[in-house]
Chains A and B, each alone.
Chain A
Amino acid sequence: MNRQDYIKQSRRHYRSYYRLVSVAVILMMAVLTGSLLLGDSVRGTLVQRVEERLGRTESILTSGTGFMDERILQNDLLEESEGVLLVDGYISQSNKLIPVYVWGIDNDSLPEGNAWVNDPLSARLEGSGDIVLHLPSHNMVPSGSLFVTQSYSTQMRLRVTGHRSVQQGGNILLKNEQTLPLNIFVNRASLGEVMEIEHKINLILSATPITYDQLGTIWTPSHSGICLNDSSLTYEGIFIPSAIVDTLAPCSRYFSYLVNDLSLSGARTDSVEESSLSSGARTDSAKESSSSLSSSLPYSFVTAVDEWRGEALSKRDIILSDYAAQSLQANVGDSISMSYFLAKDLKNLETKECRLCVRQIVPLEEFKNDSLLIADFPGLSHVEKCTDWDSDLPIDMDRIRKTDEDYWYQHQQTPKAIVAYSAIRGDWSNAFGSATALRLTADRREAESRLSCQSFITIISPRAEGLFAANNGTDFAGLFMALGFFIIVGGILLMLNPIAEMLHERSTELALYQQVGYTRKRVLRQLFRETFGTMLIASPLGVLAGVLYSGITLWLLAGVWSGATHTEGFALHIHAATLLVSWAIGIAIAIATLYYLLRKSLRESDKPRLSKPMSGSISPALVVLLLTLALFAYNLCCLHSMILFIVCGMMWIVCFGMWLRVWLARRQQAHTPDGWNKAQMVWQTVCASHRRHMLAYWTLALGVFTVFAVGLNRPDFNGKELVEQSTGSYQLYVDCRVPIQYDLNHPDVRRKLLLSGLPDSTHFLPFLRHVQDEASCLNLNRVSTPTVLGVSLDEMQPFGLTPTSPSPSLPCVYIDQESLTWSMMKSVGDTLYYDTQQGPHTPVLIAGTYPTGIFHGNAIMSDADFRSLWPKESGVEVLLVKSSRPDEAAELLSTAMSQYGLDVQTTQQRIKMFFEVTDTYLVIFLTLGALGILLGIFSLFVIVRKNLTASQQAIMLYRQLGYREAVIRSLLVRENLLVPLYAMLTGAIGSVISISANVAGAGIHTILLAAACLLLLCATLYAGVHLLIRKNIKP
């Protein structure tokens, strides 16, 4: 018989132990491997999604809020590129809004009137027939400016004729998100026509990487809508951005404007310097006074210039056309009053009036011949009559006279007067520009050289960004390792206990080896080979079980646990390296555990088996108890810190662990001067194996504490208090696909938008929005730049946001703690970099956090900072609504403002959506934690079995001393159950202490559920121990 035979024989003899060891190794290895594979699978799926959504795209050229001329695509550099007109839109179907990305593409097989949809959108659409696609009414002039038409949206009737598969780029998305987008592809030419932006694109998807230098070689100003002549410059977007004006300085600036009134001063008696009126809200008295004036010109175009005929104009100067002078009966030197609308935020209009002095009167033809003095405003230009004007401004058509119509018919928007640019610059300039035309001093070539493509087009390398976001996103390996922690610990305990039990059983054998001359090292080596061999054989099964575990978890994540990711289609990615690493980790843990146990057992085989007498002084336990109570009381009365409550809960467990030790030590030393009883007898027996019992205490108490603390901290998502805290008591959350340019709190605006039926108590909290990446827990990618919401920070107090001003020079944002930590992996004081009007990579400071609530995943910024960074994004895209009758308000908003594509949902619904993620993770943790505790209890059964094996002689003695079987069983049950039950109870009480800050928030259902779970665990423990005893002490 050689050593190998001996090992085989021993393994066969002790197979019942080795079976348990194998199960433990498989379990531990499965969770380790499974967790690492989950990390790989989620990461792999995210990377796959990047490939799917980008296709062959290597560079994206975007014109931001502006447009590019599609002729830019004719350059060789962009040969492998696709020009796209991308806009947000929505499809309304069965009273539901489906927000979509509308991709205007140039594809011969996609004729006008037809549309293709991607698979996710196809699944959402009911039937495959005709659809109505709603679009924001874009045109070349931004809707936030004053001179736009009244309609803010338009629509296209389309027939869905095909699908664009993933391989065909159907799931293209420019954001770093794993959720599949809803894409509709339409004919670019027809989309441009509907939106009045023919031959324009705003996106170029290039299959080859493109640099700014390369782009600079092909780009001309005309590609970005700049009409540059030899001596002048105009812009298709009408308002020339201030940056261009500054770049081309010195130059002469022109600004065309529709003024409300020109009148000869002195003729008016009730003129005011300035009055504030909302849009559509001119007062009746004002109407009457203006219509009564004979020497005034209503609604006239006036152009502001820096100089006229080479001469600079002073701020008080006005040059009238002869037509205007005649109409006003004005002469040089007369005083002219000019009133005009002045736009504040959200088109809150003010009417401003200024007094000017007639410097010169010139023939109208001179104005007419200078094209720079005339600008084309949508809705105003190119109509036959003034009364045909389609303007968002509150124009009083009653004031327009026949003579005004005659003028319009003959001269259209030819200005009636010229004023000094310096006089109106602050009033007429807007977020989109500070001039409507420029007369250049530099020649065309020089002007061209000064203009750079970077001012108009941004180049993005989406693949690198996408892969970075995917590879650095939520760490599922770590997450599931943490979630499955208790199973791993349970597995280790389960591995530890059978080996310990077997070694205990073989203690005579171990002693014998040493007696017959084996060195301790040799005995250790022999036992190690015997046991480790089993582990080694079980380990590949564990790895395989890990693959199964990750597969099942991914299946659950797509099913009952889908609330955690809101994503389907996670694919299992198995990497050999991961399998090897997890196998190596598992084996390392097994070796360490085995080595520790073998050494310990061999050491103990030299000594008597009885544990050393316990030492347990009462003083430290008393100090810790007093400290725990004092800290708990102080925290409860003054601090209310959740962390401190958790610390108190843990201190409670430590304290009662110490008390248990003191108790056991005292029982062990207890003498019997006057008598003895069964309780003392039981405790003294427990003392005899105090180390084993203390290990059981710490394992069970901490396990129950952690799982129950998490479970009890699981908020009641229906709780009124929680919802109020998270929503600031606002009841409705409104997402607008078409930005709203009005202040909905103003009564006149409500009248204009047919919202007068809203309850008076209705209050709107408007938010500007710069859309970037979703940073909420729904996005598994790492987010660098979350979507920014602009709002007055004073309004954010109910949401727990306290503004600070850490840096006066940098714009600041506030981000909810969860998004900051998990999605962005940043902290307060870090800097984010956004592409803004101030330039690419504008630094924005993270100034603070706010509690996770309705704005989860968004960065909150003051509206002032927002407007300075993204002045063109002036419309409201998010609204919170507070009303005494929220249901009515929701219905009215949806119907009256249907053209804005409002998606109205209750704040509670939205909060629930976010909380569902946290809740699902908690459920996963609780499920795996409960499994871990059950495993811990199962390993406790192994200890009990070991105790029973060791107690066989004692049981026999009891019988011989006349103890009845029931009494013996009762003694054994008490010996084996007292400490575990004490541990579970202590852990449970500790967990209640840890949630003292939020006992009410836990909800009665959660507390009852926790109590039921505790009872179930205790019952499982009791039943298991009872069964084991019945089975093992048969007479």
Chain B
Amino acid sequence: MLTVLDDLTLDVAKGEFVAVRGESGAGKTTLLNILGTMLSPDRGSYHLDGQLVTPDKLSEIRNKKVGMVFQDHRLMPQFTVMQNILLPLLAEKDATTFDEVQRAERLLAFMDIADLRESMVTTLSGGEKTRVAICRALINQPSLLLADEPTGQLDARNARIIAELFGKVNRELQTTIVMVTHSEEMTKAAQKTYVLENGKLRV
């Protein structure tokens, strides 16, 4: 059995913006998947909002408490920007409410892409897609926003803009962010940067 993360402890305070760096294969995505409850650690525990994460409520935690942004955005090509943002809301019910739509609109405005509301995601640029993905991650007002190399496919200018946006989210919405990245720009935006090496974290 391969040990990816070994005797690793990570404490992230509420409202903190943490960046995790590391070489390819160092276990960054595994760490993110554990934080996003997509994977469970073989040993040890994971507390979120002061509560132990147990296997029985993983879906609910993913939906309500964690938002995720991926490098490849993972937007549904058949849906519009607004629909992609509303997607997490339909995990627990059959229809969204008017208030939720308004919340999505506010997020769009917050990300400065309000005019893309009814665009198909296939027509968006990489930067726009990342913004949409952030909006989708924030729609349920999660306590933790996880991002897996969100600027990996962007040019330097767009990467800077996205980094600023993450900072803005952290500042203005008081959202805790854990981001895995190679980007210097993103690291600069974070309040604390960890390096993952040989399965262990160091500051």
Q: Spell out A's residues near B (CB within 8 Å).
A: 608, 610, 668, 671-681, 684-685, 687-688, 953-954, 956-964, 967
Contacts and interface: CB of A to CB of B under 8 A. Distances in A.
Q: Which of A687, A953, A958, A960 has the most CB of B within 10 A?
A: A960
A677 B94 contact: yes
Interface string B41-60: 00000000000000000011
A684 B79 contact: yes
A350 to B, nearest CB: 93
A675 B88 contact: no
Contacts of B68: 960-961
B97 A681 contact: no
B16 to A, nearest CB: 22
B83 A608 contact: no
A672 B74 contact: no
B97 A675 contact: yes
Given A671-B118, A677-B90, A964-B91, A954 B76 contact: yes
Nearest to B61: A962
Given A608-B122, A681-B83, A959-B38, A675 B98 contact: yes
Contacts of B76: 685, 954, 957
Contact of B80 (A672, A677, A685, A954): A672
B176 to A, nearest CB: 17
Pick the 9 closest A-B CB pairs, nearest first. A962-B63, A677-B95, A688-B78, A962-B62, A963-B91, A675-B96, A961-B88, A962-B91, A964-B59
B64 interface: yes
Given A610-B122, A962-B64, A675 B101 contact: yes
Given A959-B38, A961-B87, A674 B64 contact: no
B159 interface: no
B86 interface: yes
A672 B77 contact: no
Given A962-B59, A962-B60, A964-B91, A672 B86 contact: yes
B122 A957 contact: no
Contacts of A685: 76, 78
10 contacts: A610-B78, A610-B122, A672-B86, A675-B86, A677-B90, A677-B94, A678-B95, A680-B83, A959-B59, A962-B62
B59 A957 contact: no
B90 A676 contact: yes
Interface residues of B, number: 35
Q: Which of A668, A953, A962 has the most CB of B within 10 A?
A: A962
B130 to A, nearest CB: 15
Contacts of A958: 91
A678 B38 CA distance: 24
Given A610-B122, A687-B78, A678 B90 contact: yes
Nearest to A613: B120
A961 B91 contact: yes
Given A610-B122, A672-B86, A681-B83, 10 more contacts: A610-B78, A668-B78, A672-B118, A677-B94, A681-B90, A684-B83, A688-B78, A960-B62, A962-B64, A962-B92
Contacts of A681: 79, 83, 87, 90
B82 interface: yes
A836 B2 CA distance: 100
Contact of A674 (B66, B79, B87, B98): B98
Contacts of A688: 77-78
A84 B146 CA distance: 104
Contacts of A671: 80, 82, 118
A950 to B, nearest CB: 11
Nearest to A967: B91
A677 to B, nearest CB: 4
A954 B96 CA distance: 20
B36 to A, nearest CB: 7
Contacts of A610: 77-78, 122
B86 A960 contact: no
Q: Is the interface of A mostly helix, strand, loop or mixed?
A: helix
A674 B61 contact: no
Interface string B93-106: 01111101100000
B78 A676 contact: no
A672 B87 contact: no
Contacts, number: 91
B77 to A, nearest CB: 5
Nearest to A953: B74
A668 B38 CA distance: 31
Contacts of B91: 958, 961-964, 967
A594 to B, nearest CB: 29
Given A671-B80, A962-B61, A962-B63, A957 B74 contact: yes
A668 B78 CA distance: 8
A679 B61 CA distance: 25
A173 B134 CA distance: 90
Contacts of B95: 675-678
Nearest to B98: A674
A964 B62 CA distance: 10
Contact of A684 (B62, B63, B78, B96): B78
A957 B63 CA distance: 11
Nearest to A680: B83
A668 B95 CA distance: 17
A959 B88 CA distance: 10
A672 B101 contact: yes
B83 A676 contact: yes
A675 B100 contact: yes
Nearest to B76: A954
Contacts of A959: 38, 59, 62
B26 to A, nearest CB: 21
A863 to B, nearest CB: 76
A676 B96 contact: yes
Contacts of A954: 76
A961 B136 CA distance: 9
A668 to B, nearest CB: 8
A678 B95 CA distance: 6
Contacts of A687: 78
Contacts of A608: 122
Interface string B10-23: 00000000000000
A608 B88 CA distance: 26
Nearest to B93: A678
A679 B90 CA distance: 10
A960 B91 CA distance: 11
Contact of B38 (A675, A676, A677, A960): A960
Contacts of A672: 80, 82-83, 86, 96, 101, 118
A671 B83 CA distance: 8
Contacts of B63: 961-963
A608 B68 CA distance: 26
A610 B63 CA distance: 28
Contacts of B36: 960
Nearest to B142: A962
A976 to B, nearest CB: 15
Nearest to A678: B94
A694 to B, nearest CB: 16
Nearest to A957: B74
Contacts of A674: 98, 101
Contacts of A956: 74
A673 B98 CA distance: 8
A906 B61 CA distance: 78
Q: Which of A673, A679, A956, A957 has the most CB of B within 10 A?
A: A957
A671 B63 CA distance: 24
Q: Which of A676, A677, A956, A963 has the most CB of B within 10 A?
A: A676
Contacts of B80: 671-672
A609 to B, nearest CB: 8
Contacts of B118: 671-672
A982 to B, nearest CB: 19
B167 to A, nearest CB: 24
Contacts of B92: 962
B150 to A, nearest CB: 14
Nearest to B86: A676
A581 B115 CA distance: 63
